[in-house]
Structures are given as C-alpha cells and as structure tokens.
Amino acid sequence: MRVVAIIQARMGSTRLPGKILKEVNGRPLLSYQLERINDSTFIDEFVIATTREEQDDKIVTFCKQQNVSYYRGSETDVLARYYETAVEFNADAIVRITSDCPIIDVQVVDKTIGFFLEYGHFDYVSNTLERTYPRGLDTEIFTFAALEKAYKEATLERDREHVTAYFYTNSNIFKLANVINDFDYSNFRWTVDTIEDFELIKNIIQALYVKNPRFTLQDTVNVMRENPDWFHINAHIEQKKL
C-alpha cells in the first residue's frame, strides 16, 4: 500500500495571513513540520497541496527550494484538491495533515498510520474523533476509495472545504476508528491560527529544538509545565467550527 501524506497549505489564512511561512530562528514553520514528518516509518511520499491563487506562488517557490513535491488545485474545494493530488501521486492511502501544525510529533503520526495498516479494514482512522491529543498533532488517514467516494458524493460546502467531514458525518457508510492517547492532553493547543498561537509555538521551538530537533509530545508537555504562563498565551483562542 502506497501511503502519501498530503499537507494542505495556503497563504490566505483569515486570522493570520502567511502563517505557515512565518519564521522562527530564520526558518519557516512549514520547514519544521516537513523535517519532523520526514522521519515517518510509513509515509512513502509527502506532497504540499496548495492553490492556484497567485499569493500561493510563495509556497511553490518554497517547495522548489526544498525539493518538495507539490500540487496546485482549488482554493475553496479542498476535497477536490486532495482527490486530484492523490490521483497525481498514485496514493492508495492518504494521510491528511494541515500545514498549521509545525510541531506535529511523528511518533503520533506513525501510531495513527500503524493502527490503520495493522487492522486493514477501516476506511478512515484519526486521533481527532475523540480528542485526547493536543490540537496541533492531528493526524487522519483514509483509503483512496473512501476519498473518491466523498469526492463524487459530497455536496455540502462544509464537506468540500474540510475534506474529511463527509467521513465522520456519515459513519453509517464508512468504517471509522479513533486512536487515543494514554493521557488526556486535549487542553493543549499547539496549532497556529492566530498571532498568539504563533508566539506559543515560537517559545516551544526556541526552548526545545536546539537540544533535540526531534522533540516529542511528552517533551513539549514537560516544557509547558515548566513554563505555566505559556498556557495563557493562547488559552482564549477558539477553534473555528465546521
């Protein structure tokens, strides 16, 4: 089974435009994420799925500089963008990761993928149906057949924009599974949607990366507990609803 990670990325964030190329220690956030998932045991290739909008030429330039595969599709129909990317790169299984998760832990990614591959009969597996991992470590994996079904059948704007919403809102027609953590860390927010999120992520990277570029979920929990004031930086930020 060919496993392709498709990372959706665009510059046009409403709350923090250009967030994925904002820099910490002279490096864009996206480069940290790619470095971390490059250590995956299971991912055969990763692809940046960006848009055809002119503002996303910067992402294409980044991909060319970093020798990273990319695909350009619709800005609004992200489901179509994923489907076209999966076809272009011959994916049997698709790992969905969003580019606003720069400190994603590859061990968490591989735990989710490993569960999907081991059991072999699920259409969709994630660690977000019942959230026990921090927001920002979100990992989803699904079959090409399931993606194609969603691409052909989904009509709601919500389902076209959020890619996997069609799976978990139609659990009667898809076989779903959720991977949980041993401890509930769902109160942590390590994604980048706002300037407050960025400030927290910058603190984490500056505290941990120099010591160990492959710092883990537990390393990050520990440094947050050592710096309890960091919790308050983005505690008031609410995630956008479907």
**Judging by beta carbons within 10 Å of its beta carbon (0-12, 13-18, 19+), is residue 67 exposed, middle or buried?**
exposed
Task: Let me know if residue 136 belongs to a domain.
Answer: yes
- In percent, the amount of the chain with pLDDT more than 90 equals 97
**Quick check: is 195 in a domain?**
yes
Give mean pLDDT, residues 75-104: 98
Q: What is the pLDDT of residues 72-85, one digit of tens each?
A: 999 999 999 999 99
What is the pLDDT confidence band of residue 238, given thresholds at 50, 70 and 90?
Answer: confident
**AA letter at 76:** T
Domain of 85, in residue numbers: 3-232
Q: What is the pLDDT of residue 8?
A: 97
Confidence tier at 239 by pLDDT (50, 70, 90) = confident
Cα 228 to Cα 76: distance, rounded to the nearest angstrom: 38
In a domain, 237, yes or no: no
> Length of the chain, please?
242
Q: What is the pLDDT of residue 212?
A: 97
Average pLDDT over residues 215-220: 98
Cα–Cα distance, 92 to 104 (Å, whole number)? 23
Partners of residue 97 on adjacent β-strands: 7
Tokens representing 158 are: 């919500």
**Looking at the domain assignment, is residue 62 inside a domain?**
yes
pTM value is 0.96
3-class SS of residue 220: helix
Q: Is the pLDDT of residue 86 over 80?
A: yes
Distance separating alpha carbons of residues 163 and 226, to the nearest angstrom: 37
pLDDT at 242: 66
Contacts of 97 (CB under 8 A, 6+ apart): 5, 6, 7, 33, 37, 104, 109, 138, 139, 140
Q: How far apart are CA 46 and CA 43, in angstroms?
A: 7
* Beta-bridge mates of residue 5: 46, 95
Residue 42 in any domain: the answer is: yes
Does residue 241 register a pLDDT over 90?
Answer: no
Give the chain's mean pLDDT: 97
- H or E stretch at 118: helix 106-119
Number of domains in the chain: 1
Q: Is residue 239 part of a domain?
A: no
**Would the pLDDT of 142 be above 80?**
yes
Residue 143 has which token pair? 């079959």
Domain at 83, CATH number: 3.90.550.10
For 14-62, how does the pLDDT look when each residue is reduced to its tens digit (9 = 90+)? 889 999 999 999 999 999 999 999 999 999 999 999 999 999 999 999 9
* Each residue's pLDDT tens digit, 144-196: 999 999 999 999 999 999 999 999 999 999 999 999 999 999 999 999 999 99
CA distance 140 to 123: 11
Return the percent helix, strand and coil in the chain, to nearest 5.
40, 15, 45
